[in-house]
């Protein structure tokens, strides 16, 4: 049965399909301590669902197994970052340079869950793509998908750390695969690469400092002291992932290739700043960037221009400083001040 499921997963486009039990994750206690320290920031949903994250039985009573799948989304750097032409450009995390992976993977994972329920009469299955109360990285490590690196992301010995994860909880009892062991060794490249020092220690991430959190999850103003460290990143950050030595085994992924958005590789920051609500929704339709909303993305664009922009960006920023959305206006004024200060310095 496992081989039939693996074969179907491969047909659906997944690069890895592994199995584990529906037992509670070993790191449930670490999650509780992390939440108690407030390192989840504004992500209150993590605390609300903490009990379910610690016990899959609270999600699907009678669950016996978890099927863990992964899709490699690596794109060679030469394709991701072509030489920027005119104006200043922003950087978007690689996973977001295509149609929303929640939808793309979700469609395929639902098909795999339906296949499961057809295999065994009366079976029940629930699938999630980064949307359910599951400690997916802990479970993926237990299933042998990869090991959790010091940057807290899953690393595959075959694909590196460019992985999108999905899970199916099922009442079907399947023999578990062998758990992966950590293979980071003495390497600390990811810790050293983090611009904001969000990786406070090996395997420990303070989300409140992470650029991915600051540019996506945070709904309010970005702290002043962190703005210069964001550089020209406007949605997410790949720095800790990009330096992992296990990426030497990575090759171009096939899953999101069909859904790639070339216009999101190095977007023009000044053009983005001119988007109204309709323009924003049109430009980023069906992409993960919609999650940031216009106010969040243009806030990020203002910070990026404040860090890397020149006088040519001032007219657009001046216009943004009059935006009816206070969050955009405040960050635009900050960016104007940063550019003027740079240009007035001998």
Active site residues: 130
DSSP state, 184?
-
Structure tokens at 269: 């920051």
Q: 69: phi > 0 → left, psi -120 to 50 → alpha, else beta; which?
A: beta
The CA distance from 204 to 190, in Å, is: 12
CA 279 – CA 300 distance, rounded (Å): 17
CA distance 226 to 331: 13
Give dist(CA 142, CA 86) in Å, integer. 47
**C-beta of residue 23 within 8 angstroms of C-beta of residue 55:** no
Residues 206-222, buried b or exposed e (16+ Cβ, 10 A)? bbbbbbbbbbbbbeeeb
**In this structure, are residues 149 and 198 in contact, taking their beta carbons and an 8 Å threshold?**
no
What letter does residue 132 receive in the DSSP assignment? Answer: S
H or E element, residue 324: none
165-184: string of b/e by CB count within 10 Å (b at 16+)?
bbbbbbbbebebbeebeeeb
Torsion-angle region of 157 (φ positive above 0: left; ψ -120 to 50: alpha; else: beta): alpha
- Sign of the CA dihedral running 276, 101, 12, 133: negative
């Amino acid at each position: 049965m496992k081989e039939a499921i693996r074969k179907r997963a491969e047909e659906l486009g997944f690069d890895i399909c592994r199995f584990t039990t529906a037992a509670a994750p070993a790191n449930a206690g670490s999650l509780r301590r992390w939440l108690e320290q407030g390192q989840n920031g504004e992500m209150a949903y993590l605390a609300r669902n903490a009990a379910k994250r610690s016990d899959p039985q609270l999600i699907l009573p009678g669950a016996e197994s978890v099927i863990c799948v992964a899709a490699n989304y690596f794109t060679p750097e030469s394709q991701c970052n072509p030489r920027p032409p005119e104006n200043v450009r922003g950087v978007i995390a690689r996973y977001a340079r295509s149609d929303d992976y929640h939808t793309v993977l979700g469609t395929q994972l639902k098909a795999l869950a339906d296949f499961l329920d057809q295999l065994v009469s009366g079976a029940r299955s629930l699938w999630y793509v980064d949307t359910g109360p599951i400690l997916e990285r802990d479970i993926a490590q237990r299933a042998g998908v990869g090991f959790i690196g010091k940057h807290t992301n899953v690393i595959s010995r075959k694909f590196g750390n460019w992985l999108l994860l999905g899970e199916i909880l099922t009442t079907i009892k399947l023999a578990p695969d062998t758990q992966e062991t950590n293979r980071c060794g003495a390497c600390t490249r990811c810790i050293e690469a983090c611009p904001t020092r969000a990786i406070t220690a090996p395997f420990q991430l303070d989300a409140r400092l992470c650029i991915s959190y600051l540019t996506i999850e945070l709904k309010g103003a970005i702290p002043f002291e962190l703005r210069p460290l964001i550089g020209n990143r406007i949605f997410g950050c790949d720095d800790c992932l990009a330096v992992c030595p296990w990426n030497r085994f990575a090759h171009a992924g096939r899953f999101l290739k069909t859904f790639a958005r070339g216009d999101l590789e190095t977007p023009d920051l000044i053009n983005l700043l001119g988007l109204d609500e309709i323009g924003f929704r049109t430009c980023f339709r069906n992409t993960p960037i919609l999650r940031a909303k216009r106010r969040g993305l243009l806030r990020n664009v203002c910070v990026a221009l404040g860090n890397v922009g020149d006088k040519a960006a001032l007219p657009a920023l001046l216009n943004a400083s009059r935006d009816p959305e206070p969050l955009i206006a405040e960050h635009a004024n900050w960016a104007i001040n940063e550019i003027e200060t740079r240009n007035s310095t001998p």
